[in-house]
Chain A
């Protein structure tokens, strides 16, 4: 069946860039999303990319999509302590989520 996989943890220093990776199996996915979940909160949509795009930039966020390899990444520039959260990638057909990557930002 369809699956979305992510690495579970990422630790970065404040001010550095963070790159969170995701792979998916459903080649028919039309949209791919990145969600952020802060402790005790629901999921917040950060950004999305349509499957006919390779890259999308939105302020500090850059999403790269490699359709051939079914690989999606989220780059956060100038990572801040407020970026500490769990990040989920998801594909739209069934809104299947990855397990989430816990990003820890340290001074």
Chain B
């Protein structure tokens, strides 16, 4: 049974700092991994999608890496801003059109 863990559960940093969020999964047979952002009480916004054959994806100040063999992914946020404050969720799927298994999320607070 696939399990997804995110560390840390919460993180508070000053504005401008670079930071790394971690995601690990127990079954390396994944189809893809996706990082989401969730603002309080809201839905999810897709940030980055990494296919199982890929090692990383970048979008603006965000970079996500995937090491499938070790069951790990990291989300790197450069030059953090107060607007980055949100909960960040990673999720894996085992096949196309399959369900997503989510981690518990990392609640990020960026202080001005």
A complexed with B: no
Binding site for B on A (CB under 8 A): none
